[in-house]
Amino acid sequence: MADEKNNTQNGAEASAEGNATVTGGAAGAPNQQAKTDLEQAQEETAKWKNEYLYLRAEFDNYKKHAIKERSDLLKFGIERIARDILEVMDNFERALQTKVSAETVQTFKNGVEMTAKELKETLNKHGIAEVPSENQPFNPQFHEAISAEPTTQVPEGHITKVFKKPYKLHDKVIRMGQVVVATAPKA
């Protein structure tokens, strides 16, 4: 009986040790699970960090490219109009090389007028247009009054003479016109 009692105690102790092992094993599993969650979070953090660094580098490259593109646009943006104006310049140079005599004056004048017309067409092609001014009402958005002239030929406040024509690039005034404005004559 003592042996039975001994076996029962040994069984109880073994059972307690087994429970401790099971409990220890169960306690180790959440610890191991927490470790894998931490590793997973660290991996995800590293992934997001790499993605952030990649996107930041990509954005920096985009900014550099945009700055270079803008610089090139400012530097070479007038290339098309420059080529067209050079064509007109060639015509003016040919006209200047021509010997002008009494017989060729009219032909020379016609050639210069045609070249001036070509220049205006080139400017219009690129959005540069003259703002009509002569006999028009004075408009401070387009005109700078350099003088006033008493006259009855045009209504008061209208332009009698244009010294410099105003020009617009599309909708923006790029050169103000210099004009003489009519005033009422003194009686």
Span 41-81, pLDDT tens digits: 999 999 999 999 999 999 999 999 999 999 988 888 888 88
Domain chopping of the chain, boundaries: 1-76, 78-126, 129-187
Please, how many CA atoms are within 13 Å of residue 161, restricted to the half-sphere of its CB? 9
Q: Is beta strand 159-164 parallel, antiparallel or unpaired with respect to 177-183?
A: antiparallel
| Chain Cα centroid distance, residue 68 | 11
Least confident window among 34-38, 106-110, 141-145, 170-174: 34-38
CATH class, 129-187 region: mainly beta
| 166 vs 106: CA distance, rounded Å | 29
CA 23-13-25 angle, to 5 degrees, is 15
Q: Give me 165's structure tokens.
A: 């024509």
pLDDT at residue 90 is higher than 80: yes
Which tens digits make up the pLDDT trace of 112-131? Answer: 999 999 999 999 999 999 99
Global pTM? 0.61
